Amino acid sequence: MGTVLTNNHYLFTSESVGEGHPDKLCDQISDAILDRCLELDPKAHVACETYSTTNLILVGGEIGFQDPNPELPKIIAKEAEQIARKVALDIGYDSAEKGLDGAHCEFINRLHAQSPDINQGVVGKGLDEFEGQQGAGDQGIMFGFACDETPELMPATLHYAHQLLLKATELRKNGTIAWLRPDAKSQVTIEYDGFKPVRIDAVVVSHQHDPDVEYDTIRSTIIEQIIKPVLEPTGLLDENTKYYINPTGKFVTGGPDGDAGLTGRKIIVDTYGGMGRHGGGAFSGKDPSKVDRSAAYMARYIAKNVVAAGLAKRAEVQLAYAIGVPYPVSIMVETFGTETVDRKKIETAVEKVFDCTPAGIVKTLDLKRPVYRPTASYGHFGRDGFSWEKTDKVEELKAAAL
């Protein structure tokens, strides 16, 4: 039965996937290899892709070290395998029965050097008019989003979906629910009144498990030990909230054995759960010269500061770039009618306060550090510890916009 809604009420749903989801396994391997490259050379240019299926992990893509030390490519060629295996084992993939044996599965390395045509535009050796300036690593459009639905200034649907799987991972790894296996997905559907969450309409959790666990045990345990502890404090659960737990009745075969994994396939999970627009570029495995990643972080940083400054309740920022060009070709700020000052004033303030050049983004957010593997599961946004989540431009924005 569907929920009958009236006036300005509607349902919105976001999904999350756990760190053991095959695509997230691949994202984490790609970002772990990126982190190691940045440890060896903070100026390294990396586009690392990972693929996994039954009994196989394959890494490929391009790595260009700017440091001329000839040993660096040899080091990463040697270490890529141990990095990939460690990530799989850290997640919990330690046997074929769980979906992958990280210690003993086949491993294939197809990493190679970066194209010199791309490199010359990034390092300022492209067209004469841009000589000496860091250009964007590719063309593209990037979006950032923030809203006041949660203290993290993230959409409630996505934030709660992530929190469910973080809780499940905690209980799996500390042995509280020992029969859980690494692969997992969640969805949270919220009823909104305009832009305000008013109740949780449905919760979906599909979690891989050992074969000898009864369905009733799985359902009751996930509801009582994962869903309710996470969602009851929100005050949004009610007697009509629907729970869909492992809706097929069985989820034993999972991980790369159940479904092949690939870097970059969970871009909506990684960002705003569909609540904000997405430019289409994936993040994991890419160094910060790739504006697919760095400019998306900058756009989130801008949007979050706009909302934190009280200039709007919702903000979406678009940045656009051309490969090799050392500045954005456009900047847009959308506030969905929630602005407290004229939107054009906000846009002008953003352009004044934030340096959105590729080089400026890297400097502002300090992105040439090995900080990327933690971003690769449970969302790149809305979590503490990342430079793009700071709200340190609030006062500058207010002064520029008011």
Q: Is 304 a catalytic residue?
A: no
Q: Is 265 a catalytic residue?
A: yes
What is the spatial order of strands in the sheet that 140-147 belongs to?
140-147, 314-321, 330-334
Give the separation between CA 42 and CA 193, rounded to whole angstroms: 47
* Residue of 167, 181, 286, 373 with catalytic role: 286
* Residue of 45, 199, 266, 380 with catalytic role: 266
Question: 384 is written with which tokens?
Answer: 């503490």
Give the type of residue at 5: L
Start-to-end CA distance of the chain, whole Å, equals 49
Give the type of residue at 240: N
- The burial class, CB within 10 Å (0-12 / 13-18 / 19+), for 109 is middle
* Residue of 292, 316, 339, 347 with catalytic role: 292
Q: Is 292 a catalytic residue?
A: yes
Q: Which of 25, 35, 50 is nearest to 367 (CA)?
A: 35
Q: Is 128 a catalytic residue?
A: no
Q: Give the number of other CB atoms < 10 A from CB of residue 243.
A: 14
Question: 375 is written with which tokens?
Answer: 């971003």
Give the separation between CA 235 and CA 35, rounded to whole angstroms: 39
Q: Count Cα atoms within 13 angstroms, Cβ side, for 366.
A: 8
* Residue of 90, 259, 351, 355 with catalytic role: 259
Q: Is 251 a catalytic residue?
A: yes
* Residue of 15, 24, 156, 181 with catalytic role: 24
Q: Is 62 a catalytic residue?
A: yes
Q: Is 260 a catalytic residue?
A: yes
Taking phi over 0 as left and psi of -120 to 50 as alpha, with beta for the rest, 301 belongs to alpha
* Residue of 290, 300, 304, 313 with catalytic role: 290
* Residue of 12, 15, 19, 23 with catalytic role: 23
Q: Is 347 a catalytic residue?
A: no
Q: Is 24 a catalytic residue?
A: yes
* Residue of 85, 159, 172, 185 with catalytic role: 185
Q: Is 49 a catalytic residue?
A: yes
- Max CA-CA distance within the chain? 68
Q: Which residues of 204-221 are buried (b: 16+ CB within 10 A; e: fewer)?
A: bbbbbbeeebeeeebbeb
Q: Is 345 a catalytic residue?
A: no
* Residue of 12, 145, 251, 283 with catalytic role: 251
How much is the CA Rg of the chain, to the nearest whole Å? 22
* Residue of 265, 300, 314, 393 with catalytic role: 265
* Residue of 9, 97, 196, 260 with catalytic role: 260
* Residue of 15, 19, 21, 343 with catalytic role: 21
Catalytic center residues: 21, 23-24, 49, 62, 185, 251, 259-260, 265-266, 286, 290, 292
